[in-house]
Every structure is written in structure tokens, then in C-alpha cells.
Amino acid sequence: MSEMSEKKEIVVSLQHVTKQFGSLTVLDDMSLDVYEHEVVVLCGPSGGGKSTLLRTINGLEKIGSGKILYRGTEVNHRNIKEIRKHIGMVFQQFNLFNNLTVRDNLLIAPVKTQKKKKDEMLKKAVEYLEIFGIADKLDSYPHQLSGGQKQRVAIVRSLMMEPDLMLFDEPTSALDPEMIKEVLDAIRRLSSMGMTMVIVTHEMGFAREVASRVCFLEGAKIRVNTDTKTFFEDTEDERLKQFLSVILHH
């Protein structure tokens, strides 16, 4: 296959990562490599550790043992702030800054913190908003937006940092059905732009379409980690079969 000949670089690599909350083991010796331009979908039953796994990648959650490499560099408490600048994160609850307009939500990190030129950043913000169909919302406050619009603004806010990797934690779970599509379309677009992404989602149709690889997390372990086709059509794992039959007939 042609893919095999061009050597793809690993963006992020989790190696034997373990994480506990008190006596509860949430991540049990998890290893995962995310290659450039790959879309990795994480799924599995509630409490399986999907959010925690995602959050360890950008240091929102500290790990117990094991290590995380970002482009070959081991992530530690000293370099995490720098590394985070390259990792975008989109939350289930959007987490737009409530007291700022869309404009300021998008500009605060690049302009105020990274000291980039304001007019250039504004131009970029407007371009992204246009791509995602919400250019008219520049001066709105978050509470004036629909859920789907909020989530698209949140995606643009991450994109403003020109991330190398984007993490999504159930980006459509808090949305009404009619808004799910607009957010999924936004993520599809990122995928077609070649963005490397790790996505936690229960939207299996969507996963099947955009994922290059799907992982099934259960009981603090990555039980299955395989290419999308095998995952949906050819799995041997009994628990996964059970999970899929429930979720696909839902």
C-alpha cells in the first residue's frame, strides 16, 4: 500500500499510561499512537475512561505512571504549557468564555497571550467563521447562540491557535439532533483539511465515515484498537460486538 511507503510521523504517543482517582483505576496501562493526519475515534461504555484518556493528552489530567510523548518529546510539567499551544480541545459543554463576545473568545489567546497582530487575527477569525457558516455571530455573546453555533465557535477558537492536533470530547452529546449535523460537518471539514484528531463520540455512523482508526475502551483498558473497517465489520471481541449491537440499533 502506498501509505506504508511514506513514513508517517507519530504526533502523540501514550506509553503504558496509568491513572487512578483514589483507589479507582481509570486508565490501566494504556498505550496508543496517533499518527499525523489520522482521525482516531474513541468509544465505549460510560465510565470506561475515554474523557480521562483525552484529557491526559493535553495535561488537563495528570498521569500516574507511564509516559506521553508529543512529537517525540516526553511531556512533563515544565513543557506542558508550551505543548498545549499545539493541541486544540473541544468540550462537550462548549466552554466558551461566557463574558466575552465571539470575537474576544477567538482573539483572547492569540492576541492577548501570544501577542499576535490583532487585525491579522481578526481577519483569520472571520475567515474561519465564514467557513463554518457563522460569520454573522462575531459580536454575539455565547448565550445568544444555539448549541450548534457555540460548538462551531469553540472549534474555531481552537483553530485560531493553529493546532497540530485536535481533541474532541463528545462534541455533539449536548446538542439537539438538528444541530448535531452542523457540528459533525465542521469536523468532517477539518478531517478533509488533514487535521490530526482524536474524537470521543457515540456517533457511530460518523465514526465509520471519518475515522481512520477506532478504539474501544472498557474497564480502564483499550480493548480494541483497529482500523475502521475491521472495527465495524470484522471484530472478534465479544464485548465490542455486544456494544455495537446495542449502539447501532439504538
Partner 1 sequence: MTFEDRYNIVVKTILVQGLPMTLKLIFASLFFAMLIGVVLGTVRSLKIPVVDQILGAYALICRGVPTIIILLFFYAYLTKGTQFWISVLSISLVEGAYMMEVVKGGFLSVDKGQWEAAKSLSLPLMHTITRIILPQVLLVTIPALMGQIVMLVKGTSVAATIGCMDTLRRAQLLLPKYSYPMEIYAYVLVIFFIMCHFLTWLGKKLERTVVKRIMGERNV
Nearest to partner 1 of 27, 90 (CB atom): 90
- Continuous segment of H or E residues that includes residue 8: none
Nearest to partner 1 of 21, 97 (CB atom): 97
Find which of Mg ion, partner 1, ligand ATP, none residue 26 binds, CB within 5 to 8 Å per kind: ligand ATP
Query: 50, 124, 157, 213: which one contacts ligand ATP (CB under 6 A)?
Result: 50
Contact call for residue 47 and ligand ATP (CB under 6 A): yes
To partner 1, the closest distance from the beta carbon of 118 in angstroms equals: 15
What residues contact residue 140 under an 8 Å CB cut-off, 6+ apart?
Answer: 101, 102
- Continuous segment of H or E residues that includes residue 239: helix 238-248
Residue with cell 495535561: 59
**One-letter identity of residue 190:** L
To partner 1, the closest distance from the beta carbon of 21 in angstroms equals: 15
To partner 1, the closest distance from the beta carbon of 86 in angstroms equals: 9
The DSSP output letter for 103 is: H
Contact call for residue 99 and partner 1 (CB under 8 A): yes
Query: 100, 131, 244, 247: which one contacts partner 1 (CB under 8 A)?
Result: 100
From residue 167, alpha-carbon distances to 12, 77, 78, 111, 147 in Å are: 11, 20, 21, 22, 19
The answer to whether the beta carbons of residues 95 and 154 sit under 8 Å apart is: yes
Query: 19, 124, 150, 157: which one contacts partner 1 (CB under 8 A)?
Result: 157
Contact call for residue 147 and ligand ATP (CB under 6 A): no
Query: 51, 56, 58, 151: which one contacts partner 1 (CB under 8 A)?
Result: 58
176 three-state secondary structure: coil
Contact call for residue 21 and ligand ATP (CB under 6 A): yes
Number of residues counted as binding partner 1 (CB under 8 A)? 31
The answer to whether the beta carbons of residues 154 and 96 sit under 8 Å apart is: yes
Nearest to ligand ATP of 47, 133 (CB atom): 47
> Cα-flanking dihedrals φ and ψ of residue 105, to 5°?
-55, -40
The answer to whether the beta carbons of residues 16 and 32 sit under 8 Å apart is: no
Taking the C-alpha atoms of residue 111 and residue 120, their distance in angstroms, rounded to an integer, is: 10
Contact call for residue 128 and partner 1 (CB under 8 A): no
190 three-state secondary structure: helix
The answer to whether the beta carbons of residues 224 and 242 sit under 8 Å apart is: no
Contact call for residue 146 and partner 1 (CB under 8 A): no
Binding site residues, ligand ATP, CB under 6 A: 21, 26, 46-52
List of residues contacting Mg ion (CB under 5 A): 51
Chain positions contacting partner 1, by CB under 8 A: 58, 60, 81-82, 84-85, 87-89, 91, 93-101, 108-109, 112-113, 140-141, 143-144, 154, 157-158, 161
